[in-house]
Structure formats: C-alpha cells, structure tokens
Amino acid sequence: MAETNRPDEEVREARPTAYEVHPNVLQRWSPRAFDEREVPEELLFGLFEAARYAPSANNEQPWRYVLARTKQDREAFYEFINEGNRSWCERAPALAVLAAKKTSSRNGNPMRTYAFDAGASWATLALEATNKGLVTHAMGGFDAAKAKEALGFSDDYEPMIVIAIGYRGDPAVLTEGQREREKPSSRKALSEVVHEGKFQGE
C-alpha cells in the first residue's frame, strides 16, 4: 500500500493555513524534477479511477484522458509539448492529455461547464496522486491543435492540459532556472478569494 504523504517542512513554510485542511491538500504541488522509474500499473490507473468519480454537470463526465507510458507513445507526445516543458517532462515515466467534450452526450447541446468539469477531474487525479506518494504537473504549454490531430480527437473535444505523472526526483537534474522554481507555491489570502454577501474585488 502506498504511504500517505504529510506536509514536509518545505510545504509548511510556503503554505500556512488559517483553518485546518487535510495535509495532502497542502502537500500537492507541481514539481518538475521527476524520477524516471516506472509507476506500477495498479498505482497509475488508480489515479484515473479516482478522476472518473469527479463531479460534473448532469453527470456528463466530459473528461477524456489519453495516456502515454511507453517510450514510443511518450515520444509522440513530445512533438506537441512546448520546448520549455519538454526539457523537464521527458523524465516523467507517464504523460496524459486531458481533453473535454464540449457538447452533451444526451442531446448534442453545447455544455457551458465542460472545462470546469474537466478541471474537477484533473484536481481529483492530482490529489489521489498525492495520496499514493506520486507527483503530478499539469502543463498548458503545448500545441492543442497538434495534440488533437496526433491523438485523434474530433472537433467536439478540446485538449485542455498535458499531465506529467511519476515519483519526485532529484532537483539536480533541472536547469538552474528550473531549480529556483522547484518549490511549493504560496496562495492568496483567504480574504482575497472569499467574499461574504457580495463581491468586494476590483
């Protein structure tokens, strides 16, 4: 059984909380340093098992994942991933493209929440990865048109992100600039994002 992470010192310093939350919520962040060892199938597919139970409008479940875990499949992904991301994600043992279906499977009407629902699925996957001692990093830096063509998606599907999946590696494998960013990010204050009664922002 994979061990459950607990926030380490690095995370506690970067992510103080005013209220108690589950430790794995804080521990989830997006490293770029990956260990190249293969993720066992039971652990890897457990992430997608979790992702399929995310909430969605009318239970449409618009998310679709294309997984690349063989060398040949990963190399096909590299063709549409931006160079800045390729420089580190080529060490990840698994990559996945998350695409979202833009229309309802029931009546063909456009779905306003397709991207929102796909995001819920990704968040569920990312948290389950943390639960299992894995790390993930979602990338928006890729050519969506090339990905759509390479992976066989019709126009009804929008590729949203590429996800690197694996075990955290040694930051020494990164460039100097990447190493400087290899740490948990902070968050805006709760008062900036939660407003009672009426929005008080700009």
- DSSP string covering the chain: -PPPP---HHHHHH---SS---HHHHH----S-EE-SPPPHHHHHHHHHHHTTS--GGG---EEEEEE-SHHHHHHHHTTB-HHHHHHHTT-SEEEEEEEE-B-TTT--B-TTHHHHHHHHHHHHHHHHHHTT-EEEEE--B-HHHHHHHHT--TTEEEEEEEEEEEE--GGGS-HHHHHT-S------HHHH--SSS----
Q: What is the pLDDT of residue 6?
A: 59
Q: What is the pLDDT of residue 9?
A: 85
Q: What is the mean pLDDT of each successive set of 10 residues along the chain, which is 202 residues long?
A: 60 92 95 97 98 97 98 98 97 98 96 98 98 98 98 98 98 95 94 94 78
